[in-house]
Amino acid sequence: MKSLQELLLALIIVAFATTTHLIQAQPDPKEFINLDCGLHPAASPYTEPLTTLTYTSDANFTQGGKSGRVQKVWEEAYKPYTVLRYFPDGIRNCYDLQVTSGKKYLIKALFLYGNYDGLNSGPIFDMYLGPNIWTTVDLKISILSRKEEIIHIAKSSSLQICLVKTGKTTPIISALELRPLRDDTYITTNGSLKLVKRYYASDLFGPSIRYPSDIYDREWKPVSLSFGFNFVNTSLNVNSSSPYELPQEVISKAVINKNVTETLSFDWYVNNREDQAFIYLHFAEIQTLRENDTREFDIIWKENDRNITNAAYRPPKLQLETLYNTSPMKCRFMQCTVELVKTKSSTLPPMVNAIETYQIIEFPDAETNPEDVAAVQNIRATYELSKIDWQGDPCVPRLFKWEGINCSYTNASIPPRIISLDLSSSGLHGAITPSIQNLTQLQELDLSNNNLSGGVPEFLANMESLLIINLGWNSLTGSIPQALRDREKKGLKLVVQGNPNLCLSDSCKNKKILVPVLASVVSVTAVIALLALIIILRKRKHLSKAATRELPRKSSIFAKKKKFTYSEVVELTENFKRVLGEGGFGVVYHGSLSDTEPVAVKVLSESSVQGYKEFKAEVELLLRVHHINLVSLVGYCDEGGHLALIYEYMANGDLKQHLSGESSGPTLKWASRLKIAIEAAQGLEYLHVGCEPPMVHRDVKSTNILLDDRFEAKLADFGLSRSFAVGAETQVATVVAGTPGYLDPEYYLTNWLNEKSDVYSFGIVLLEIITNRAVIELTREKAHIAEWVKILISRGDIEKIVDPNLAGDYDSNTVWRILELAMSCVSHSSSDRPTMSKVVNILKECLISEKSRTGQIHQDDGDSKNSDLTINFGTEVTPIAR
């Protein structure tokens, strides 16, 4: 019994307040950052009367946004937050705050909509901490105000807090506050701590307590408890000289049960079953105990499948003591519960003075290499660049990568490096800045079409990674350094044309003669170029008229793949002998390049006008994408009105055939279905984040997931695919296309396309994999598969959801997790859907779990990363006990 108790006690650190504590200096309010967002610089700084803290304008901390003011009805209740900053331009707008690397900070952000725009509709947007998402701010729900708070360790000397537009509404912020904390408080190695609740023992009429009473400016709210509890307090001084240093107004009060035998219980909720939680319990015995009185109780944390107990705890007399769990724990059915249970030897009920609850937020993506960041920020400052998207981290997340910058990515934990910088046509003036040489991994540099002056710097020759330098069409002078000439001989590509005063020869002795000659040559060249442009424009106009009469033909997009003649297509299909399938594009035939190389030949129907656009789109995409989980293009035919695409042959048909029983093979086992889902998801993930520019498939469905002779899945049919610009101000506006049932409802209603539309379609495929039911089935309670599954989830009946052909051969925990994943993918709002990268990670975890269950797991299965997926079933639908 003693060893068990010691084991349980080891799970909880007790922070004793003793004289042996290392004394850390109290925080200096001058180290606080207090930004009143939207405040005019002329009104800054000012002293806020309640806290006595000095607030300043945020104008020097962000480069975008406009100032707004809440309506008068809101002003009196929410002083001093009567102004705000809103960001109508750009996708990502960031605050750049100077901090101490490795220092722990309490970060608070306040949002008060206050109907500043007269629309009576609060915005919804995301907030990022560096390259990682912190939270989604929904002011449609929190119409009054909302505060987000997190405890976070700065990874570098610059902390970037970014507001990201996720729809059509405009992000806003009212205040931003940072407070340094002691290093020996709120310890976690798993991530940052997002505040859920912070309460002290007082009834609902008690005041909120913050600075200066709390030297760290933690805000304490009065606890909300039901009938049956008493509040007690003391006028004596409570020693709070512990790392947590609670205010006297907090630690001198406590809550206890009226009934001595009752349990004191605290509940709070997390977003989904995978979330991990921390609780900090602050104790001090503030009542005078009689000689025979004892206050002793067990502290029980109810985890998913076990209870963790700190047994026989006695609060120290008039001395602050803090207990917390050393490792994060998962909550049972998303409800976290901690109970204080009176022991048999105790004569007094349990008590607690204050509680804090937190949720772990993992920030997996590393920030860009700090030296690269400093270099590119210096370049921005030198040339006074005002690019709207040059905010936040330059490389991550990839969706918001700075325009003109390309980066190398190893994995999420390794800082990306800048390998390409394109500042062409950016209005640069002055000399080429030495800051460029600090981009030590730079491979390509383009400074063309600017007004740069001075000489070509020799430091460019010392940048060993550089492969291409374009300095053309500037006003550079002097000669090219010999070291650069030597690098040219070793393969460096140097472009310097268009600099009339730059000496291009080995010797510049005849420079005075050379310049007029060059000027004359340039003048003649300009005239010739102008005449050529006129001829080309006339020719294009003529061609465009011709294009309205017939389909366009030969294009450079076909240059890299083998071109087949129509007679060759007829021969390899044996005169179109065997039909494999048929769609809107045309008919797909079986073919053979040789006796050992079968192919599939998609032939465009002559009546399909739209088909040529799809034909061209598919070829353009498949020419530049190469992935094991995408069907490969072997060649094409474009001859005399005959259009055909030749693909690798997928011997086992499509996923739909194997789910529905159309194929002659056995029922797909659960592990096989997971493997197919992973491979299809990996193909989509590549389109979304591996392509340049990224692609949206637009027609993800089970019939477009094909299986080869080894049952490896590959995504097919890219005729509707569209590219989307990373970091663009808006999503892609396009005519709605796709397959009913799989079509993203948000895309259908708005015509705004992004990669989350594919995520929705893939979620429908996951539901097919789980249920083996039709996507649209008019005879059931809800025709659409997602709505039908929602009803069954609310009843907790997994047997009616899962394909009966699986005959129970699956782990219900894994099925529930995939079901939760599928439902998050089909959320009505794209902002609530996970990325395909998160989908892939979760599917891999589930496959490993399934293989472990069946004894098939191998060492080469690899480790999958933890995910921080947020599941949103809506208010009325939540998975219950299995």
CB-based contact 71:115 (threshold 8 Å): yes
Q: 407 by DSSP, 3-state: which?
A: strand
How far apart CA 244 and CA 196 sit, in angstroms, is 18
Cα separation, 341 vs 480, whole angstroms: 81
Distance of CA 719 to the CA centre of its chain: 28
H/E stretch holding 849: helix 836-854
Residue 430 · residue 385 · CB < 8 Å: no
* DSSP 8-state secondary structure symbol assigned to residue 342: E
Give the containing element (helix H, strand E) for 579.
strand 579-582
Contacts of 476 (CB under 8 A, 6+ apart): 452, 453, 454, 455, 456, 496, 499, 501, 502
In three-state secondary structure terms, 794 is: helix
Helix residue spans in 353-463 (DSSP H)? 370-382
The residues pairing with 636 across neighbouring beta strands, listed in sequence order, are: 563, 645
Residue type, 709: D
Instruction: Give the active site residue among 217, 638, 699, 868.
Output: 699
CA-based nearest residue to 447, from 419, 476, 418: 476
| Rounded distance between C-alpha atoms, residue 316 and residue 313, angstroms | 9
d(CA 372, CA 417): 7
Neighbour-count burial of 530, counting CB atoms closer than 10 A to its CB (0-12 exposed, 13-18 middle, 19+ buried): exposed
Is 183 noted as a catalytic residue in this protein? no
Q: Is 602 annotated as a binding residue?
A: yes
Beta bridge partners of 761: none
Beta strands in 649-689 (DSSP E): none
Which amino acid is present at 185? T
Q: Any idea which residue has 């053979």 for tokens?
A: 592
- Cα–Cα distances in Å, from 507 out to 70, 205, 301? 68, 87, 82
Q: Work out the end-to-end distance of the chain between its first and last CA atoms, rounded to an integer number of angstroms.
A: 34
The three-state secondary structure class of 427 is coil
Amino acid at 304: N
Contact by Cβ (8 Å): 135, 148: yes
Distance (Å) of CA 642 to CA 555, 564, 578, 587, 728: 15, 11, 18, 13, 38
Helix (H) or strand (E) holding 582: strand 579-582
DSSP assigned state of 187: -
Nearest 10 degrees: CA dihedral of 611, 614, 620, 622?
A: -110
Going along 275-350, which residue ranges are E strands?
A: 276-283, 297-302, 307-313, 321-325, 329-330, 335-342
Compute the distance between CA of residue 343 and CA of residue 297 in angstroms, rounded to an integer: 5
- 379, two tokens: 């370049």
- Residue-by-residue DSSP string for 586-628: EEEEEEEEETTEEEEEEEE-TT-HHHHHHHHHHHHHHHH---T
- CA-CA distance, 657 to 707, in Å (whole number)? 10
* Packed helices 836-854 and 670-685: angle between N→C axes, nearest 10 degrees: 160
Neighbours of 723 (CB within 10 A): 16
Query: Which tokens hold the place of 1?
Result: 């019994």
Token output for 97: 């705050």
CA atoms within 13 Å, Cβ hemisphere of 535: 6
**Whether 616 contacts 555, CB under 8 Å:** yes
Active site residues: 699
Q: Residues comprising the binding site?
A: 602
Q: Residues comprising the binding site for ATP?
A: 602
